[in-house]
Structure formats: structure tokens, C-alpha cells
């Protein structure tokens, strides 16, 4: 009786993937060496409102002095809002745009450039996002370049 102990079964493990992995690694290294990663910007730009006082309470001399312009927004109902800017109250975006344009022109007449005016939209606790978007669009339509949001009042 003859035993087949000498012949082992042949297992097909599939194609050899080693060359493919080598090629992918070479391409990856090439792309990493030749790629540029945000060369022009060393810091992220932001339109957040700047403050002269930090967490420690000391005034920072490195913060530029921008003219503050605060817009308080409150929702009176699900469909209505009221905004306060420059001592005036408005209830629609077109009138708010007109008021903000007048305020910007007055500041520009006093030699304050538009890029030195910091508009801060200060929402109430129950203010709807669609109302904030309308106020934000009115500020952008009034040609302000620095528009930011603060926490709810």
C-alpha cells in the first residue's frame, strides 16, 4: 500500500500584491514631496470680533483697534425679529441695510476705513437662525467686510 504523504496539497493564495504595494508607496512619497500644503498662509484667517482684554484681564497691545458696531437681534415670534443698531430699531432687512449703510458712510466721512469697522451681531437666546441670516446679509449688503457673531445675550 502506497501512502501519499509526500505530496502536499497546493494552495492558491491569489496574485502577489507586493509589487502593487511598492508602486503605491512610491507614488505616495512622490506626491508628499512635490505637493504644497498652504504655503501662502501661516495662520488661519478669521473674522471673529477682536477684544483688547484677554482671559487674564490685561489689555493686549497687539490687537488692532477697530471701530465696534453692535447689532442686537431678538425674535419676537417665529416669523418676526427686531434689530437694534445705532440706537434705532428695525424689523426688516431692507431698512436695516439702509441704516447700516448710513452708519458706514458716516464713519467713512470721519476717516474710519470700512476694513477698520468690526460689526458684531449679538443674538438673543431665542433668536431663529433665519433671522440671523437676514441680519448678516443686510450687513454684507451694506458693504461691511468684518462681520462676526457673538454669544447670545
Instruction: Give residue-wise pLDDT tens across range 45-95.
Output: 665 555 655 555 566 666 667 888 999 999 988 899 999 998 999 999 999
E-assigned strand segments in the chain: 67-75, 81-85, 88-90, 117-123, 146-149
Kindly tell me if the per-residue pLDDT of 122 is higher than 70: yes
Closest CA to 120 of 45, 47, 46, 49: 49
pLDDT at position 16 is 84
Segment 1-15 mean pLDDT: 65
User: For residue 87, what is its C-alpha cell?
Assistant: 440706537
pLDDT at position 83 is 95
Residue 93: CB atoms within 10 A of its CB come to: 19
Contact between 30 and 22 under an 8 Å Cβ cutoff? The reply is no
Contact between 54 and 105 under an 8 Å Cβ cutoff? The reply is no
pLDDT at position 86 is 87
Domains of the chain with bracketed CATH: 67-149 (3.30.420.270)
User: For residue 90, what is its C-alpha cell?
Assistant: 428695525
Listed in sequence order, the residues at least 6 apart from 87 whose beta carbon sits closer than 8 Å to its beta carbon are none
pLDDT at position 153 is 75
- Round the average pLDDT of the chain to a whole number and report it: 83
Give CA angle at 143 (141, 144), nearest 5°: 110
Please tell me the least confidently modeled range out of 1-5, 15-19, 138-142, 144-148: 1-5
Amino acid at each position: 500500500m502506497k501512502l501519499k504523504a509526500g505530496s502536499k496539497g497546493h494552495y492558491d493564495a491569489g496574485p502577489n500584491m507586493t509589487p502593487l504595494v511598492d508602486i503605491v508607496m512610491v507614488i505616495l512619497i512622490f506626491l508628499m514631496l512635490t505637493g504644497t500644503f498652504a504655503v501662502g498662509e501661516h495662520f488661519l484667517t478669521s473674522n471673529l470680533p477682536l477684544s483688547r482684554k484677554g482671559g487674564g484681564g490685561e489689555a493686549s497691545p497687539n490687537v488692532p483697534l477697530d471701530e465696534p458696531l453692535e447689532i442686537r437681534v431678538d425674535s419676537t415670534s417665529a416669523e418676526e425679529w427686531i434689530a437694534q443698531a445705532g440706537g434705532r430699531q428695525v424689523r426688516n432687512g431692507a431698512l436695516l441695510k439702509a441704516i447700516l449703510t448710513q452708519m458706514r458712510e458716516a464713519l467713512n466721512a470721519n476717516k474710519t476705513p470700512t476694513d477698520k469697522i468690526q460689526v458684531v451681531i449679538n443674538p438673543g437666546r431665542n433668536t431663529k437662525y433665519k433671522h440671523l441670516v437676514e441680519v448678516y446679509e443686510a450687513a454684507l449688503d451694506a458693504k461691511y467686510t468684518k462681520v462676526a457673531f457673538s454669544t447670545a445675550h
